[in-house]
Amino acid sequence: MAKQRKIIIFDTTLRDGEQSPSCSMNLNEKLEVAQMLEQLKVDVIEAGFPIASPGDFEAVKAVAKEIKSCTIAALARSIAKDIDIAGEALARAARPRIHVFCATSQIHRKYKLKRAKSEIVKMSVEAVRRALKYTDDVEFSPEDASRTEPDFLVEVVSAVIDAGATTVNIPDTVGYAIPAQFAELISYLRENVANIDKAVISVHCHNDLGLAVANSLAAVSAGADQVECTINGIGERAGNAALEEIVMAIKTREDYFNATTDIDTTKIYPASRLVASITGMHLQRNKAIVGENAFAHEAGIHQHGILSDRRTYEIMKPEDIGLPSSRLVLGKHSGRHGFEQRIKALGYKLTKTQLNEAYQKFIELADKKKDIYDADIEALIKQQASAGVEVWRLESLQTTAGTNTIPTATVTLSKEGKKVVDAATGDGPIDAAYEAIGRITGIKLKLTDYSLRALTSGKDAQGEVTIEVTHNGERLRARGISTDIVEASAKAYLAVVNRILSLGKTRKKKKSTTP
Ligand code: KIV
Ligand code: ZN
């Protein structure tokens, strides 16, 4: 039997994932995700596209400085200034990789780049050579490879390997490929690119036809050694191949692939939760591996089998992906010790002050909610971590709504100990509460997104509201959690208001110190 291969996991959550409009992250959020990816033990983190914006440049720079056990990649078009900026952003990386791309398909050549084949080859080769000035780890992607004429793809791939590319990535940019055909393309390249053994073959698949994971795995079977993917499959349009599905397929069907990855699969579930909560892109319940129902067994016949031997209906163990137990964990009488123990079991390390504050919040929650689950505790800790400066505090909120009544909200906020009350009407109780908060704080926001989900099941489940607003051209997102969804909505709104007010203060301070 052939030697088992290691498949390189290249995560592009922070680049291709973040690129999709509803998934943008700020610098701190990107760092948090990067730290999680490091714990997950991905081989490569594509941290951004530095030329795209100053924010992307800073994020790549920060990730390169912070994360030392993964290769950090930055994307660049085959344009000199893109490559130079990517090289600059990666200057402090322990293992930098520049990922250059150039479209190769006929449709992209004709309508996007307006270049002949020979010019595409020249641009690609020059780009690889320029990137090599910054690092000897250079990846090249012929964009829209799956729609490129195979013989031209051979020409480009051979030329960039000759120029020094160490990884050649074959993207299915528009999600057009079909598994057997995509596998054939990989085999064709292995057979026809004379110098192919000098580079790693990678694949990068989009999910427009729902085939991103299937295409990536077909390519692995055909000899690809690197897969590009994102947590929860986030990404442009229908997304990218989902990391958790690729990794668990390779692990569960090691017998078939004769391959492994270095991923610590017990970090898959926490990584999925983190990305979902930061981006506000929540998962469908039946999402493979990390969806709420992925390990739930409803049918009696299945439950019977599971009780006799889990393997009757389970091909993976929930603990393999780090799924916390969904059992009831704590209640009003669990006490401080029980709470501390559960926090440790969930993997959090809190300081004494943080623990005291979290316990106080737990007691308040236990007064409102009989059963407290892991998800409630995690939400409580995450809220505390992302709380930021509290300029205005929500003291109380009363709403009236119903059929044939005008929805009204009376809101009491306090600032530096001074209480201010106002009342307003609106299209509904949430709209009325937002109107009242806007009047008190002087900040009226236009929501670009609002989502609500229950953290756990049951009538007394906490609701998590995530809102997104655009203020002075900047996209801001915040969450509010409560057993009352109007209160959760008000908390989310107030969190954005507080962020705007504290940002304003730091910006003013910065201005006055600038010469
Ligand atoms: O989908 C794509 O082609 C890409 C490339 C830049 C690799 O994201
Ligand atoms: Zn892509």
Give the model confidence (pLDDT) of 316-334 as tens digits: 999 999 986 545 567 777 7
105 domain residue, yes or no:
yes
Q: Where are the beta strands (DSSP E) in 297-357?
A: none
- Beta carbons of 25 and 274 less than 8 angstroms apart: no
Between the ranges 230-239, 339-348, 381-390, where is the mean pLDDT highest? 230-239
Three-state SS string over 193-259 comes to CCCHHHCEEEEEEECCCCCHHHHHHHHHHCCCCEEEEEHHHCCCCCCECEHHHHHHHHHHCHHHHCE
Q: Which of 29, 84, 104, 36 is nearest to 62 (CA)?
A: 29
191 domain residue, yes or no:
yes
Helix 352-368 and helix 374-385: axis angle, to 10°? 130
Q: Where are the beta strands (DSSP E) in 248-387?
A: 259-260
If you write DSSP's letter for every residue of 389-422 in order, what string do you get? --SSEEEEEEEE--TTS--EEEEEEEETTEEEEE
Residue 347 sits in the same domain as residue 467: no
Residue 66 sits in the same domain as residue 145: yes
| Domain final residue pick, 369, 385, 401 | 385
Which residue is listed with tokens 């929860």? 232
Question: In b/e form, how buried is each residue of 170-209, taking b as 16+ CB within 10 angstroms?
Answer: bbbbbbbbebeebbebbeebeeebeebeebbbbbbbbbbe
514 domain residue, yes or no:
no
**AA identity, residue 429:** P
376 domain residue, yes or no:
yes
**Does any ligand 1 atom lie closer than 6 A to the CB of residue 270?**
no
Helix (H, G, I), strand (E, B) or coil at 362: helix
- CA of residue 13 to ligand 2 center, whole Å: 10
User: What's the domain range around 449?
Assistant: 393-503
Q: What is the pLDDT of residue 427?
A: 94
Q: What is the pLDDT of residue 68?
A: 97
Question: Any idea what the CATH number is for the domain that residue 142 is in?
Answer: 3.20.20.70
Residue 211 sits in the same domain as residue 354: no
- Beta carbons of 91 and 59 less than 8 angstroms apart: no
Percent pLDDT > 70 in the chain is 93
Question: How many angstroms separate the Cα of 461 from the Cα of each of 221, 367, 369, 375?
Answer: 44, 13, 8, 10
- Note residues around ion ligand 2 (Cβ under 5 angstroms): 16
pTM: 0.80
Residue 33 sits in the same domain as residue 61: yes
- CA of residue 166 to ligand 1 center, whole Å: 17
Residue 274 sits in the same domain as residue 298: no
Residue 50 sits in the same domain as residue 134: yes
Helix 243-252 and helix 212-221: axis angle, to 10°? 40
Helix (H, G, I), strand (E, B) or coil at 72: strand
Residue 337 sits in the same domain as residue 430: no
Residue 358 sits in the same domain as residue 437: no
288 domain residue, yes or no:
no
Mutate to test the pocket of ligand 1, among 18, 82, 143 (most ligand atoms within 8 A of CB): 143
Q: Is the pLDDT of residue 210 over 50?
A: yes
Q: Is the pLDDT of residue 150 over 70?
A: yes
User: Of the ligands numbered here, which is closest to the C-alpha atom of 239?
Assistant: 2
Question: Any idea what the CATH number is for the domain that residue 469 is in?
Answer: 3.30.160.270
- β-pairing, 8-11 with 463-471? unpaired
Q: How much is the mean pLDDT over the chain?
A: 90
User: Of the ligands numbered here, which is closest to the C-alpha atom of 174?
Assistant: 1
When pLDDT is averaged across residues 359-387 and rounded to a whole number, the result is 81
**Does any ligand 1 atom lie closer than 6 A to the CB of residue 143?**
yes
**Does any ligand 1 atom lie closer than 6 A to the CB of residue 279?**
no
Query: Model confidence at 431, in pLDDT bands (50, 70, 90)?
Result: very high
Residue 123 sits in the same domain as residue 46: yes
Which DSSP category does 464 fall into?
Answer: E
Euclidean distance between CA atoms 423 and 199, whole angstroms: 66
134 domain residue, yes or no:
yes
Q: What is the pLDDT of residue 71?
A: 98
pLDDT digits (tens, 9 = 90+) for 474-496: 778 888 888 899 999 999 999 99
Residue 302 sits in the same domain as residue 328: no
Beta-bridge mates of residue 233: none
Q: Is the pLDDT of residue 37 over 60?
A: yes
Euclidean distance between CA atoms 224 and 246, whole angstroms: 13
Between the ranges 19-33, 132-146, 332-346, 471-485, where is the mean pLDDT highest? 132-146
- CA of residue 14 to ligand 2 center, whole Å: 12
Q: Which of 382, 362, 359 is nearest to 372 (CA)?
A: 362
Quote the tokens at residue 146: 């799956």
Which residue puts its alpha carbon closest to atom 6 of ligand 1? 101
- CA of residue 62 to ligand 1 center, whole Å: 23
Give 140: exposed, middle or buried? Use CB within 10 Å, 0-12, 13-18, 19+: buried
- β-pairing, 96-103 with 393-400? unpaired
Euclidean distance between CA atoms 509 and 241, whole angstroms: 44
Q: Which of 388, 378, 342 is nearest to 464 (CA)?
A: 378
How many domains does the chain contain in total?
4
Q: What is the pLDDT of residue 372?
A: 84
Question: How many angstroms separate the Cα of 128 from the Cα of each of 85, 156, 194?
Answer: 14, 12, 18
Query: Model confidence at 505, in pLDDT bands (50, 70, 90)?
Result: low
Helix (H, G, I), strand (E, B) or coil at 31: helix
Q: Is the pLDDT of residue 307 over 80?
A: no
Residue 377 sits in the same domain as residue 410: no
| Chain mean position to CA 104 | 29
Which residue puts its alpha carbon closest to atom 8 of ligand 1? 16
Which residue puts its alpha carbon closest to atom 3 of ligand 1? 173
Mutate to test the pocket of ligand 1, among 173, 182, 202, 228 (most ligand atoms within 8 A of CB): 173
**Does any ligand 1 atom lie closer than 6 A to the CB of residue 399?**
no
Ligand 1 atom nearest the C-alpha of 143 is 3
**Does any ligand 1 atom lie closer than 6 A to the CB of residue 228?**
no
When pLDDT is averaged across residues 265-270 and rounded to a whole number, the result is 94
Mutate to test the pocket of ligand 1, among 10, 14, 16, 20 (most ligand atoms within 8 A of CB): 16
When pLDDT is averaged across residues 143-157 and rounded to a whole number, the result is 98
| Domain final residue pick, 220, 255, 279 | 279
Ligand 1 atom nearest the C-alpha of 174 is 1
Q: What is the pLDDT of residue 326?
A: 46
515 domain residue, yes or no:
no
Q: What is the pLDDT of residue 513?
A: 32
| Domain final residue pick, 385, 408, 427 | 385
Mutate to test the pocket of ligand 1, among 56, 75, 139, 230 (most ligand atoms within 8 A of CB): 75
- CA of residue 171 to ligand 1 center, whole Å: 6
- 57-71, 232-246, 313-327: the lowest-pLDDT one: 313-327
Q: What is the pLDDT of residue 155?
A: 98
Ligand 1 atom nearest the C-alpha of 144 is 3
Ligand 1 atom nearest the C-alpha of 228 is 7
- 249-263, 283-297, 396-410: the lowest-pLDDT one: 283-297
284 domain residue, yes or no:
no
Which residue puts its alpha carbon closest to atom 4 of ligand 1? 173
Query: Model confidence at 459, in pLDDT bands (50, 70, 90)?
Result: confident
Question: In b/e form, how buried is each residue of 488-508, taking b as 16+ CB within 10 angstroms?
Answer: bbbbbbbbbbbbbbebeeeee
Ligand 1 atom nearest the C-alpha of 169 is 7
Residue 151 sits in the same domain as residue 256: yes
Q: What is the pLDDT of residue 273?
A: 86
Euclidean distance between CA atoms 29 and 333, whole angstroms: 35
- Beta carbons of 48 and 15 less than 8 angstroms apart: yes
